[in-house]
Structure 1
């Protein structure tokens, strides 16, 4: 989102998941082409760009809108969900609502970055989500990605479940949005890298992804990360296999530019004459497409220090508990290049909102 979302009636700041303005009671929905909230009356809004209807999943917290000429009553985000809990599994569906909220945030971000979104139901290997709960029927749900489909365990929307896993694995950070950003990194590795030269550069930075994944998995959980892994990797899990290194670094790129975009939207800046964190002004941007990666990382170095201090003042852990070393900076620079060279076209923005084509049965 390149601007701060506001209520269309009273102009109060609202969060991306808002259904009803807490100040004036206006029922609202997000028109995702222009990234603005509009007021709804009887579940619809009419303007110069046509009539928009509330997504049919609004009862489960979806506040996106669907244009009257769209091929389905569900918004693009909801249609990208290939598999979900049964309708009578209301406990799992309550968890689904929280995960869908994070997914909508993810899709807004990749849309703002200009990354193509090709739905699973229009193209083999297209993007889709299986959102299942390991708490339903005793099924085993493994978070991961395969051939465009991202699988998320809804049980991790529960703080106690997710925190237990985080502590067990010794991770400094674990969230549903983090899972989604990581897994979509797997998807975009094959979407954004198409030529031999770029693959060679990718392998030089991250390693050869053609190495056995199963052997790497066994080795990682048997002996753990190599010594001094912090010198070259953003996380311990990134050391497991080149695929995971790429996906972890991709997730961090989204963490960084997404948080900088939010800082820009709400007007956060560091003035050199006041701040002790930098000798020059730091003014985060809502779009870094035309900026070198050095600007991204310099802004983030200063802002993340400030955010960490704020968290500590509340007795919390660091907002961003990671160190970006020179090797990681080079990996982030590669990602910045392949992401920003993707043309941002009107067609892609419209595809994000409308996604032409019917869902498969």
Structure 2
């Protein structure tokens, strides 16, 4: 994630909605992938300092302050392209849900930023009911409206189904998420990580399911036609395979080829987003400037080459070694608690090839 600049010269961050120096309203323009300051013209309309065009705030920005994206003035839709993807929001009668909803939308926007940078398709399910992407943020139903415990409880499972990504609202609550992380014996569990993982399932349908590279996928990840319910039951009964570190990028990836793909996909998004951040701050390791994989440059060609992935991965190894060392110095857990085996590396390279290849024909 890169930083931006206000018209006053101050540094702006992706989540900002107001410049702390000049107090101007800020808004992200997804069409240009730019965070801009806004002033009002003589007609009271918001004009972007970055391009001089007119915009208005997303309804979820002006009404609930859970968004900071803008809508072009000529667009009749009340919501920005990010909020249009959210099909179900939590019950806002509970004030705490507004805070959790904000965190959900913020993590989703981080995901979308990277997807757009990678030129991946982001189309809502109203525009494309067959192949579109949507989100539902739901909460476990364990009490009635009066606070009485329900006899029949409804628990929400985070997952993906036919383009709709559902995420349990409790994942936006830090205490609940950490409790679940400990119970599941996971070393890494974050809200943006959920979004990246579940987007992997969506893009498997879009990029792999009917592609000429399906056989290659099966050779690397396994046959996705294996019974998923049985694989999940065995994983939760018996735990991951004993040698998972030698084959898979995480323990959960060993459950089923679909989960292996989604975990690998999420890790690739972790890599490119974090490397862009490091590059934006001109971060160097042992004199080597970390390159930005989200730009078309001599370092990373948008057309796949073995050199581009090798450079990306070498930068990632150097960077995560520093990140983990810094965290340990602060008495914190490793920022990146993973060791990538040769087999997992081949899978990451495959994801890189799929993303940086020709995405022109990606119908599901």
**TM-score scaled by length of structure 2:** 0.87
Tell me whether 149-158 or 323-332 shows the greater mean CA deviation. 149-158
1:283 to 275, 290, 306: 290
- Which position in structure 2 is the counterpart of 1:142? 157
Is the 1:19–1:61 contact (alpha carbons within 8 Å) kept by the matching residues of 2? no
Matched, 1:229 2:240: no
Matched, 1:252 2:257: no
In structure 2, stretches of 5+ residues that fail to align are 144-152, 295-299
* Regions of 4+ moved over 6 Å: none
Is the 2:89–2:137 contact (alpha carbons within 8 Å) kept by the matching residues of 1? yes
Whose RCO is larger (CA < 8 A, sep 6+)? 1
- Which position in structure 1 is the counterpart of 2:356? 340
What is the 5 A alignment of 1:48-197?
Answer: 50-58=53-61, 59-123=64-128, 124-134=130-140, 137=143, 139-193=154-208, 195=210, 197=212
SS in 1 for 2:116: helix
> How far apart are 1:69 and its partner, in Å?
1.9
SS in 2 for 1:184: helix
Q: What is the alpha-carbon distance in structure 1 between the residues aligned to residue 248 and residue 329 of structure 2?
A: 29
The total of aligned residue pairs comes to 334
SS in 1 for 2:284: coil
Is the 1:308–1:319 contact (alpha carbons within 8 Å) kept by the matching residues of 2? yes
Q: Deviations over 1:338-357 (max 9, x none)?
A: 1001459xxxxxxxxxxxxx
Q: Deviations over 1:245-288 (max 9, x none)?
A: 0000000000011100111111111244xxxxxxxx34322434
Q: What is the alpha-carbon distance in structure 2 between the residues aligned to residue 239 and residue 252 of structure 1?
A: 15
Q: Deviations over 1:211-267 (max 9, x none)?
A: 111100111111111111100011111011110000000000000111001111111
Q: Deviations over 1:274-311 (max 9, x none)?
A: xxxxxxx3432243435521111111011110111111
> How far apart are 1:30 and its partner, in Å?
1.1
- Which position in structure 2 is the counterpart of 1:347? none
> How far apart are 1:135 and its partner, in Å?
6.3
Matched, 1:269 2:274: no
Cα RMSD of the aligned pairs, angstroms, is: 1.9
Instruction: Give the number of the structure whose residues are more often strand, by fraction.
Output: 2
Is the 2:137–2:168 contact (alpha carbons within 8 Å) kept by the matching residues of 1? yes
